């Protein structure tokens, strides 16, 4: 009997993971990966600054799923089949230990993405996965028995199953031929970006970071907690990136012009701050306010904040007008910035939007409309915050599809 044929469209993390697992699970299955460029796994290579942030440490599916601004419920169901522990075990069993950093990001112990690439490609070789590079798909047609896959060079292939994992659809020609299969495409929006503050004096403090802040966007429901880093163009750091991800669509609609409000010290209330300042006045009345920062703030930021509220460089604690004290506390609890524009976060960026998860079954990654057609990775309307979440979704969706396909061979 002729072997069944799986065609994977896209040689990225999700496509290659699906291909090697499907081939390993079903030795009788013929697996071909079509990749439009001349390189496989190119994003894996550059990811995490060349170290590949493979996944994120968490033992809790709900906690992990909450880090996906789009697709939270979808990934939660899929994670019940293939979770972080499975990713770690999968690479570990193939000689690639994955280790965790203090902030939860997980990397190969070698600290280089080439280890991940070598591992995936040697698995592919072991299980006879075929790769066709410079093979761009321009369409698929549902035939009476399976599919016809059309390439831009005019050639055609036939398949029994198709796994489409051609990445984010922003500016991609793939959206047209995928839409032609009857699937809804949720419009794209960039996610994971930093906020520009053109001309704002705070950019003088570039390199300064504050570890625990609370950030919200004026007039919107979005809020995030986490570190803020001041850069030479504006605001960055995990707290800002998380906010950009959750508010990606609304900020796109706002043309990236909005106001962000930072609480520089959410762990202290206004009353506690006033009490702390009163102590300074009593104990260090003769000391200059600018000389030593309070609340553990970096000195440069402390002096900047004092400047904003008009505390002069020679002002002593005992002479600090109570109006300036109040203004300082108000600024610390709600420092407002006018954002105008965004900058792509070079370490990791993703595209929100893609194939609607309403038309895909998360327990198999199979289309609810076309039998034998599967979707995975960033192509789906699923995206996570920075820290390894996007790769985990790529591995999970690839593996879930592979297992379902292997059950049908
Ligand atoms: C610079 C950078 C760093 C990142 N770092 C991290 C990180 O450390 N951790 C993390 O979790 N996430 C990271 N991400 C996000 C992560 O890389 C993606 O979410 C992930 O690669 C998605 O995998 P994918 O297989 O779905 O798509 P992709 O990796 O984008 O692969 C899709 C593939 O399909 C091919 N293709 C497209 N159209 C066609 C077609 N018509 N025919 C044939 N082939 C086609 C493309 O050429 C590409 O090779 C990073 C992203 C970037 C840009």
- Tally Cβ neighbours within 10 Å of residue 211: 11
Rounded to whole angstroms, the Cα distance separating 388 from 89 reads 16
Distance 141 CA to ligand 1 centre (A): 25
pLDDT along the chain (409 residues), means of 10: 94 98 97 98 95 97 98 98 98 98 96 98 98 98 93 97 95 92 95 96 97 97 96 96 97 97 98 96 95 95 97 96 97 98 87 97 98 98 96 98 97
Q: Using the mean position of ligand 1's atoms as its centre, give its distance from the Cα of residue 350 in Å.
A: 8
Give the pLDDT score at 43. 96
Q: Please tell me the distance from the alpha carbon of residue 148 to that of residue 160, in angstroms, as a whole number.
A: 9
- Choose the residue to mutate in 348, 392, 396 for probing ligand 1, maximizing ligand atoms within 8 Å of C-beta: 348
Residue 337 token pair: 């910035």
71 ligand 1 Cβ < 6 A: no
What are 129's strand-pairing partners? Answer: none
Centroid of chain to Cα 304: 32
Q: Which atom, in ligand 1's list, is nearest to the CA of 40?
A: 49
| Atom 13, ligand 1: residue with shortest CA distance | 348
Q: Ligand 1 centre from 167 Cα, in Å?
A: 5
Give the separation between CA 262 and CA 253, rounded to whole angstroms. 22
Q: What pLDDT does 249 receive?
A: 96
**What is the rounded CA–CA span in Å between residue 24 and residue 405?**
12
The pair of structure tokens assigned to 65 is 């799923």
Sheet order of strands, 360-361 included: 130-132, 30-34, 5-9, 161-164, 373-375, 366-367, 360-361
Q: Specify the DSSP element, H or E, that contains 64.
A: helix 61-65
Q: Tell me if 196 CB under 6 Å of ligand 1.
A: no
Q: In a mutational test of the pocket of ligand 1, which residue from 7, 241, 391 has the highest number of ligand atoms less than 8 Å from its CB?
A: 391
Of all protein residues, the one whose alpha carbon is nearest to atom 39 of ligand 1 is: 166
- On whether the CB atoms of residues 196 and 342 are closer than 8 A, the answer is yes
Which atom of ligand 1 has the smallest separation from the CA of 388? 11
Q: What is the pLDDT of residue 293?
A: 95
Q: Kindly state the greatest CA–CA separation across the chain.
A: 92
Report the predicted TM-score, pTM, of the whole model to 2 decimal places.
0.94
Looking at residue 144, what is its pLDDT?
83
Query: Hey, what's the torsion of the CAs at 58, 62, 67, 72, to 10 degrees?
Result: 140
Place of tokens 């999968």: 90
Reference 44, options 11, 67, 73; nearest CA is 11
Q: In whole angstroms, what is the distance from residue 160 CA to residue 260 CA?
A: 51
């Amino acid at each position: 009997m002729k072997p069944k044929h799986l065609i994977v469209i896209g040689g990225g993390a999700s496509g290659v993971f699906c291909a090697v697992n499907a081939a390993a699970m079903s030795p009788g299955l013929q697996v071909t990966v079509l990749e439009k460029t001349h390189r496989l796994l190119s994003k894996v290579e550059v990811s995490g600054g060349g170290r590949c942030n493979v996944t994120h440490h968490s033992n809790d599916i709900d906690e992990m799923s909450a880090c996906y601004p789009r697709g939270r419920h979808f990934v939660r169901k899929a994670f019940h089949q293939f979770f972080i522990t499975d990713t770690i075990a999968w690479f570990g069993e193939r000689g690639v230990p994955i280790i965790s950093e203090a902030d939860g990001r997980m990397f190969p112990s070698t600290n280089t993405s080439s280890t991940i690439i070598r591992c995936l490609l040697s698995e592919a070789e072991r299980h006879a996965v075929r790769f066709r590079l410079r093979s761009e798909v321009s369409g698929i047609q549902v035939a009476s028995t399976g599919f016809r896959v059309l390439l831009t060079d005019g050639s055609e292939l036939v398949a029994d199953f198709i796994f489409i994992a051609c990445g984010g659809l922003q500016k991609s020609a793939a959206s047209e031929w995928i839409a032609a299969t009857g699937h809804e495409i949720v419009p794209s929006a960039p996610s994971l970006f930093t906020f520009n503050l053109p001309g704002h004096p705070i950019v003088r403090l570039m390199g300064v970071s504050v570890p625990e802040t609370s950030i919200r966007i004026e007039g919107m429901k979005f809020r995030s907690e986490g570190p803020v880093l001041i850069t030479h163009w504006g605001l960055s750091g995990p707290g800002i990136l998380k906010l950009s991800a959750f508010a990606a669509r609304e900020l796109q609609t706002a043309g990236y012009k909005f106001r962000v409000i930072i609480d520089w010290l959410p762990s202290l209330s206004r009353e506690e701050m006033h009490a702390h300042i009163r102590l300074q006045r009593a104990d260090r009345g003769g000391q200059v306010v600018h000389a030593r920062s309070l609340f553990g703030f970096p000195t440069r930021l402390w002096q900047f904040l004092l400047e904003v509220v008009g505390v002069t460089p020679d002002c002593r604690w005992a002479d600090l007008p109570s109006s300036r004290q109040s203004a300082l506390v108000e600024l610390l609890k709600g420092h407002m910035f006018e954002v105008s524009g965004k900058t792509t976060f070079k370490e990791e960026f993703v595209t929100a939007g893609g194939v609607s998860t309403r038309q895909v079954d998360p327990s198999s990654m199979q289309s609810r409309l076309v039998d034998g057609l599967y979707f995975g990775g960033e192509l789906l309307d699923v995206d996570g915050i920075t820290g390894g979440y996007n790769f985990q979704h790529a591995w999970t969706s690839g593996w879930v599809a592979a297992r379902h396909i292997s059950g049908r061979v």
